[in-house]
Amino acid sequence: MELRHLRYFVVLADELHFGRAAHRLHIAQPSLSQQIRRLEEELQVDLFERTKRRVRLTEAGRFFLAEAHQILSHAERATSALHGLGRGESGSLSVGFTAWMDFTDLPNLIRLFGKRNQGVRFDVHTLSVPDQLAAVREGRLQVAFVRAPIDDRTLAVEPISREPLVVALPKNHRLTRYKQIPLRALADQPYVILLRHRAPAFYDLVTSLWRKAGFLANVRHEADHPLSVLRLVSAGRGISLVPASCPTLGIRGIAFRRLKPSGPLLETVVAWRRAESSPVVHAFIEVVREWRRQTLRIRGATGWARR
């Protein structure tokens, strides 16, 4: 039995006239009669009662009509889903984020893609950069939002945004009187640091900044998550350098100030396997590129909303 036989049967059941049904199906009437007879022979049951005056469904025909509608409907849904999968409009996408990126507006990017591709299911994971990159290489993650640089030739990388570092201080700290804080003024301050294994690119950027300024930070506390860093700052345990996206959190008890000079920019990229064949991934990357172009037009060359 073929799907076309079911379509012929359904149209004939709708028209109850071989001539009209053949016209709708764009086939000759004798061919339609032959195909229906073959279907009945295969099923070993009469689907229609035929007389010179009329054609009507038998009881078996009425039962089979409901089943045929369901089969054709399911086939259409499967075909549509398959086409959507080929266009990246359905399927699944596993996405990785690093800790600091929980505070950026990257969720808006996910929202944009999801709005356009409502058939795609998201699996989102917050992992350290090394764990993310390993997961992408091994196929456990399809895309990862991480901090540059990425030194892995098996991965493709697309820049997303760049943002400066700002100083996070307890609200009543004496340095809050500055609109921009000289980096040297932080040299003797108790410092709260995010552990390197959580965000190595971020850690290396910060420590490199200290070395170039000619001092090492007075690290008093370590934390394994950005929120823990900010909570320690809020509790008055020290200061910290954080991405400029952090002030959007609105955490009480913390003031944020720019650095003077502003220092290096922290770059966010999306990474995926160069050998990736998933249409969903490629559709996602296209949305990433569009989103970045729009963001740059709105925010300027750094991709960071100045506050």
Backbone angles phi, psi at 122, to 5 degrees: -100, 135
User: Using an 8 Å Cβ cutoff, are 9 and 38 in contact?
Assistant: no
CATH 1.10.10.10 placement within the chain: 3-86
Q: Is the pLDDT of residue 110 over 90?
A: no
Handedness of CA 101, 239, 222, 162 (dihedral sign): positive
User: Using an 8 Å Cβ cutoff, are 191 and 219 in contact?
Assistant: yes
CATH code of the domain made up of 3-86:
1.10.10.10
Q: What is the pTM of this model?
A: 0.62
CATH 3.40.190.10 placement within the chain: 91-160+266-299, 163-265
Candidates 3.10.20.70, 3.40.50.300, 3.10.450.350, 3.40.190.10; CATH matching 91-160+266-299: 3.40.190.10
CATH fold of 163-265:
D-Maltodextrin-Binding Protein; domain 2 (3.40.190)
Binned at pLDDT 50, 70 and 90, residue 271 comes out as very high
Mean pLDDT of the chain: 84
CA distance 258 to 232: 20
Residue 121: how many other CB atoms lie within 10 Å: 11
CA distance 56 to 77: 29
pLDDT digits over 38-72, tens only?
888 888 999 898 888 889 999 898 898 888 888 88
